[in-house]
Structure 1
Amino acid sequence: MSRLTTAARLLGRALPPALIGGIAVFGFAPFSFWPLLPLSLALLFGLIDVAPTPRRAAYIGWAWGLGYFTGTIHWIFISLHTYGGMPAPLAALAVLLLAAFLALYPALTAWAGKRLAGQSRAALLLCLLPALWLLAEWLRGWVFTGFPWAAVGYSQIPDGPLAGYAPLIGIYGVSGLIALVGGIAAWLMGRRFDRVDGLALAGVLLLGGLGYGLKQVAWTEPSGKPLKVALLQGAIPQNRKWGAEDLAYNLDTYYQLVGKAKADLIVMPETAFPIFLHDMDGYFPEVLDGMLAHVAAQQAALIGGVPRLDVRSQRYYNGAVLLSDPERPANYKAHLVPFGEYVPMRPLLAWVYDNLLNMPLADFSSGGPQQAPLKVRDQRIAAHICYEDVFGEELLPNARQATILLNLSNLAWFDGSVALAQHGQISQARALETGRPMLRATNSGTTAAITPDGHYQARLPERIEGTLYAMVQGMQGNTPYLLWGNTAALLLAALGLGMGWWWRRREAQRP
């Protein structure tokens, strides 16, 4: 009976923070109710503040994280079960285990904040928790190759008042500012309003006002002549993507779309050709030759997503290839998805693929961190593939050389879910951070042209076959984030930790 009582007590303590974390999914696209994230963190920090011990605070942070990550990345279930063939109970368990692991980051934030703050509420809420939150999200972006999806800063993109800070301190810096607003709100809870509280509230208003002012700054300037771009969306269901019997359907879909497109640059999405490029040349020359004849007739360029095999090394790459150039220059995917594009710890985990999953082309090689941009007329295009644009700092070396960013994706693995809109919001953040236009050519959504200030210039509805046209102006010059990367955000975190230590000592020395 005592065990049941203990379990019920633990569940009762976990439920409120888990619900507070779970509703935060509505702060991201496609819902985009950005005030939810500061509110959710304010409630979380308030619970951490009244927790009696660091251990209890860690449990509260973990429960919040479990609700938060289950809500924001539940769509992984679709890829594992519907298309990957994993039994539904195992797929659900895998998603829950991933959410439970990611929840360790807010748990460690809560534990460390409570431990370091001692009895000082000011140090905890105004300094330590915001700084530690920023650091935790940064760590989540690279530990075990990283999984920075759903950083709270994305909720501000593009219309939140703190979005203007992204070109200076990046998405992690924006996350830290959201945590600061949440900390100030938690600080004000349950207090009599006095002059100090007035100053804190004025600080929030100043932060938002300055962010709005920064959104008016043009960090970069036009470069070259605009391109008329045609972004193709085939809307091929994932269950018709890789079957040998569906190959003709795949190739004909994009053959027809390319043949109707009229633009300076025509772009097909990731793995538009679901076979190796040399197989296209060898077995389907009429398809590729027909496409190239069409683009040559209008002096256009054609970029397509296609797997490419290096015959000498027998390695293959997920690439964005400039097919209209006889040299076939390409940008290859550098940051691969573990368990989706390569098998980590293969001797131990190969059995997962042999027995539980059906994932085609699960042994890609990385194309390397720095690659030359693709040249189209007087524009330089830095292409990246699908999930890797969630790693903002990793894109900077290529973005500095480019005037336009391009993302090729196939999110049919998650069709019908919020993953498509969330990924579009991530691309909006990359455009805003770098001051470059971002083009998205996807199989099923979100196919879009994004302006350098992070707004959609044009986009196609999800899951329909079509072509999106846009006039895109390349940009040159550097935003502060393009120069500094995450350095400025980490310095702010270090400043917050230092101020928290000072504030705790100052309060401890009072009579």
Structure 2
Amino acid sequence: MTWLAETAMLAHGWRRFLLLLVAGAIAGLSVPPLFVLPALFIAMPLWVWCLDGAERRKGLARLFGPAFVIGFAFGWGYFTVAFHWLGAAFFVDGGVMLVLMPFAILVLAALIAFFWGLASAFAHIFWSHGPWRIVTLATFLTIAEWARGHLLTGFPFDLLGYALTPTAEMMQLASVIGIYGLTFLAALLGLTPALIWSADGRPLTRRLAPFFLALAVIAAQLGYGYNRLEGTPVVERDDLRLRLVQPLVYEHADWGNVNPAAIIDRLITLSEMRMGPNDPGIEAATHVVWPESALPFFLSQYPEALARIGRMLPDGVTLLTGASRVPFEAAPGTPPFNAILAINDAGEIVSSYDKAHLVPFGEFLPFQEFWAQLGIKQFVPGAEGWAAGDPRRRLMQVPGTPPFLALICYEILFSGDLGDTQETQFLFNITNDAWFDGSIGPAQHAHHARVRAVEEGMSLVRAANSGVTLATDPLGRVTGALAPREMAVMEAVVHERLEPTLFARYRYWPLLVILVLGLLVAVASSRRRSRQ
């Protein structure tokens, strides 16, 4: 360890950059569904030791100097590994898009790493050489993670806190402090091994104490989760039986080759078929659910669709489906909405929700004219892009159905910003992860969604086009799931929501207190260093 610490402290230039790039890539192995948690303990101390040896600059160079480059390099390695699965989407379109795949992933990872670079730079401003310096870095890193999850539409994939949620037991702490609180904890724990090495001659037992304390915190997290799972009763609702369809509609990528009648045939056949002797069939369902992109065409192109859906549905059964929607009063050329439609047994649309949080480069292009000159367009077909709905309308009210929170695709990622959860009885998420078939993306997306169920104390119902379709109880435990790329249906139950969790009540006020205390520690330790 002495050799490694001294190497990191004395490294500079491209050698330090490469060292941190590799360390960040190792830390990236901690993301779902890999969950190599020891990778954080191995990699993150290098960040601390490099900051220990970083040159101090003045003025603006202090903000974008060596400390910034240290955090940027670590983040670039981390996010390149964490986001590598996004490259699978380029294989769908092929051509020039496939050529751009490595460039696009590296550029995206670099843009996100900019936040970690700033966290490193600000931490170095308040840097000290005592044990409190890891609190300083963990504080600014958490602020950076919150910022990248909210600024410029937000991109909260693979927050560092997800490394502490590999099991249902460890996941339960999210009900108290949320995923950003877990991010602070993961950063602090991952940085702790840096304190084992010290140049001040402290006894080994004192230097090992913080590391063993970190292990004790993880044990306490497991214990809390076990007690919550064992001591929290969950009750199934008897008024909801959902039939989730995973149809593998790959025509979503090219609307020019869509045969609406054939797609409706497939969806109806799947909805009505029995997958085994214990499958009660569509007659036992209260709702049938088709995922996002299940209908990769406008219903006006195939007006018979609503009539066929009405004939499929038994009396009192409602279909909830992903679809593209253009308001009747819209002018020609108006961008469509990515929507959820509720259709009753008479073939009538009785409720809808329009996706409010669109995916950058997926459903809209920032600086569209510039990218168009390079031949780049958004992945989801739609020449004029897609329109964003009203985020205040996420609570869907469907006749005969308890109110639920409608979330399309990655809208489920935004912890604490899902919408009005006071009246919500369960979380309803439809998605199309077929863009990322064969990668870790679908499993990662599904895991993020499970953590939202724990935070809010509500059941999650999630229907995916090609995986992962699943349902959970309010504690995030999976009650049923379909494998990726499995064309099948499954029955899903919904549980009564729990009493509001601490996170649901107070959101990030406890985290704010922690961050303020962390900033006070940073200032105090920095002033103490200056006096010394």
Give the CA deviation at 1:199. 5.2
Give the CA deviation at 1:450. 1.9
Q: Secondary structure at the match of 1:122?
A: coil
Amino acid of the structure 1 residue aligned with 2:48: F
Q: Deviations over 1:453-494 (max 9, x none)?
A: 223222111112011223221314311222232332233112
Alignment partner of 1:29 out of 24, 28, 32? 32
CA gap 1:93/1:205 in 2 versus in 1, 3 angstroms: closer
1:113 and 1:240 map into 2 onto residues whose CA distance is 44
Alignment of 1:46-445 (within 5 A): 46-53=49-56, 55-83=65-93, 85-117=95-127, 119-125=128-134, 127-159=135-167, 163-190=171-198, 192-193=202-203, 196-197=206-207, 200-201=210-211, 203-215=213-225, 216-217=227-228, 222=235, 224-225=237-238, 227-237=240-250, 242-260=255-273, 261-262=281-282, 263-280=285-302, 282=303, 285=304, 287-297=305-315, 299-314=316-331, 315=334, 316-324=336-344, 326-352=348-374, 359-361=380-382, 363-371=385-393, 372-375=395-398, 377=400, 379-395=402-418, 397-445=419-467
Give the CA deviation at 1:390. 1.3
Q: Secondary structure at the match of 1:273?
A: strand
Residues 270 and 386 of structure 1 are in contact (CA less than 8 Å); yes or no, is this contact kept in structure 2? yes
Give the CA deviation at 1:189. 3.0
2:337 and 2:258 map into 1 onto residues whose CA distance is 23
Residues 219 and 477 of structure 1 are in contact (CA less than 8 Å); yes or no, is this contact kept in structure 2? no
Q: Given the two structures, how large is their TM-score scaled by the length of structure 2?
A: 0.85
1:379 and 1:13 map into 2 onto residues whose CA distance is 56
Q: Secondary structure at the match of 2:176?
A: helix
Give the CA deviation at 1:265. 2.0
Bigger mean CA offset, 419-428 vs 364-373 = 364-373
1:98 and 1:120 map into 2 onto residues whose CA distance is 33
1:41 and 1:250 map into 2 onto residues whose CA distance is 49
Bigger mean CA offset, 32-41 vs 365-374 = 32-41
**Superposition RMSD on alpha carbons, in Å?**
2.8
Segments of structure 2 that go 5 or more residues without pairing to the other structure are 1-10, 57-61, 274-280
Give the CA deviation at 1:403. 1.2
Give the CA deviation at 1:24. 3.2
1:360 and 1:17 map into 2 onto residues whose CA distance is 39
Q: Given the two structures, how large is their TM-score scaled by the length of structure 1?
A: 0.88
CA gap 1:194/1:30 in 2 versus in 1, 3 angstroms: closer
CA gap 1:158/1:439 in 2 versus in 1, 3 angstroms: farther
Residues 161 and 186 of structure 2 are in contact (CA less than 8 Å); yes or no, is this contact kept in structure 1? yes
Give the CA deviation at 1:239. 7.0
2:516 and 2:163 map into 1 onto residues whose CA distance is 24
1:474 and 1:279 map into 2 onto residues whose CA distance is 40
Give the CA deviation at 1:166. 1.0
Give the CA deviation at 1:20. 2.0
Residues 223 and 474 of structure 1 are in contact (CA less than 8 Å); yes or no, is this contact kept in structure 2? yes
2:320 and 2:258 map into 1 onto residues whose CA distance is 25
Give the CA deviation at 1:132. 0.6
Alignment of 1:466-485 (within 5 A): 466-485=488-507
CA gap 1:331/1:356 in 2 versus in 1, 3 angstroms: closer
Amino acid of the structure 2 residue aligned with 1:89: V
Q: Comparing both chains, which one has the higher relative contact order based on Cα–Cα distances under 8 Å and sequence gaps of 6 or more?
A: 1
1:307 and 1:56 map into 2 onto residues whose CA distance is 48
Amino acid of the structure 1 residue aligned with 2:114: L
Residues 234 and 474 of structure 2 are in contact (CA less than 8 Å); yes or no, is this contact kept in structure 1? no
Residues 168 and 481 of structure 1 are in contact (CA less than 8 Å); yes or no, is this contact kept in structure 2? yes
CA gap 1:358/1:318 in 2 versus in 1, 3 angstroms: closer
Q: Deviations over 1:340-388 (max 9, x none)?
A: 2123344544445x56666412622222122232446453221110011
Amino acid of the structure 2 residue aligned with 1:293: R
Q: What is the aligned partner in structure 2 of residue 20 from structure 1? A: 23
Segments of structure 1 that go 5 or more residues without pairing to the other structure are 1-7
Q: Secondary structure at the match of 2:100?
A: helix
Q: Deviations over 1:151-171 (max 9, x none)?
A: 111122242875332112211
Amino acid of the structure 2 residue aligned with 1:360: P
Residues 130 and 180 of structure 1 are in contact (CA less than 8 Å); yes or no, is this contact kept in structure 2? yes
Bigger mean CA offset, 430-439 vs 86-95 = 86-95
Q: Deviations over 1:76-96 (max 9, x none)?
A: 223235326434332321221
Give the CA deviation at 1:288. 3.1
CA gap 1:10/1:239 in 2 versus in 1, 3 angstroms: farther
Q: % of aligned pairs identical? A: 28
Q: Deviations over 1:198-221 (max 9, x none)?
A: 653454244324423432337896
2:166 and 2:197 map into 1 onto residues whose CA distance is 29
Q: Deviations over 1:98-135 (max 9, x none)?
A: 11111112211112111212x3332321x211111110
Residues 254 and 381 of structure 2 are in contact (CA less than 8 Å); yes or no, is this contact kept in structure 1? no
CA gap 1:198/1:94 in 2 versus in 1, 3 angstroms: closer
Residues 436 and 442 of structure 2 are in contact (CA less than 8 Å); yes or no, is this contact kept in structure 1? yes
